[in-house]
Amino acid sequence: MKHGKWMSKGLVIASLLLVTACGSKATTTGTSAKPTDQSVASTTSAVAASSVPATSATVQQIKKNGKLVIGTSGNFRPMTFMNEQSQITGLDIDIGTMIAEKLGVKVEFVPGNISGLIPGLVAGKFDLVMSALSETDERKKSIDFSIPYGKDGTVAVTLKDTTKVEDVTKLSGLITGVIGGSATHTVIKEFGGFKELKEYPGNAEAFTDLKAGRIDLYAVGNIAANDYIKNDKSDKPLKLVGNVAAVKNMGVGMRKNEPELKAIIDSLIDEKMKDGTIDKLATKWVGAPLPK
């Protein structure tokens, strides 16, 4: 894995009460306590109303603290992941570092399961969330998004010799894996038809189970799927099957009613999109500019 040009100068790996460490076991829908987008929308709004100070993420407070705290999965290459030196890196990390530099503060990335990031944001544990965060209607009930810096959709990944999977929208009788609490999780539940839906904390665990035959397909973002297949050197090659579905904007997540912070982030993204900086960073990490 590679070092990013904009690697964090103030990187601190922290643990949070609302963010559980990545594990290796999947949970099955119906027995899992992990929140989905819908549960996040209902539970985090109550937290926001009762426990988050109105000024907790204002630009003034961030500058007073001297750092911008960003929640991220750290397990979704090439957007956010740990390199060989156990440093967090990726496209989202580069963009997050630019935002901190714009604010004139250091940046602290806090890795954790995607299912806990939005609740952690609303509860005041982070100032922002950046983890290839897709903009969904359910998430917009709880948080605000910056202007998008790219798009991504959902695709099916299977073992190369598998023939029973046709498309990510056709799941009848199939054991399907997703990242718990992700936008893809919501999409797959809407498609329905699966025999069983297994939830994982991140790509590493899901791809391991796919290769072990414990799931028939892994439904995941197209960017991450292509990156994994391109870099996979194992003796069990994988392939993409069917079309990319449910394409959505990706943006920076922030608490609601933070107009000054949102304006600064939107302005920076707009500037870096127009001058080609984000396209260059995407080419470095993804291999090409992100779809717009």
d(CA 113, CA 19): 6
- Nearest Cα residue to 148 out of 257, 290, 30: 290
The CATH number of 34-150+250-285 is 3.40.190.10
Mind listing the pLDDT tens digit for each residue in 229-278? 999 988 999 999 999 999 999 999 999 999 999 999 999 999 999 999 99
> Are residues 184 and 218 in contact, defined by beta-carbon separation less than 8 angstroms?
no
SS (H, E, C) 20-77: CCCCCCCEECCCCCCCCHHHHHHHHHHHHHHHCCCCCCCHHHHHHHCEEEEEECCEEC
Q: Which two tokens stand for residue 154?
A: 């959902």
> Are residues 64 and 105 in contact, defined by beta-carbon separation less than 8 angstroms?
no
Which phi and psi angles does 90 have, rounded to 5°? 125, 175
Domains 34-150+250-285 and 153-248 share a fold: yes
Q: What proportion of the chain, given as a percentage, has pLDDT over 90?
A: 76
0.75 exceeded by pTM: yes
How much is the pLDDT for 154?
A: 97
Q: Which two tokens stand for residue 59?
A: 């630009």
Q: Using alpha carbons only, what angle is made at residue 228 by residues 20 and 177, rounded to the nearest 5 degrees?
A: 55
Q: Delimit the domains of the chain by residue range.
A: 34-150+250-285, 153-248
Mind listing the pLDDT tens digit for each residue in 57-76? 589 999 999 999 999 999 99
How much is the pLDDT for 247?
A: 97
How much is the pLDDT for 30?
A: 37
H or E, element range at 103: helix 91-103
d(CA 207, CA 217): 9
The CATH number of 153-248 is 3.40.190.10
**Least confident residue range of 2-6, 152-156, 239-243:** 2-6
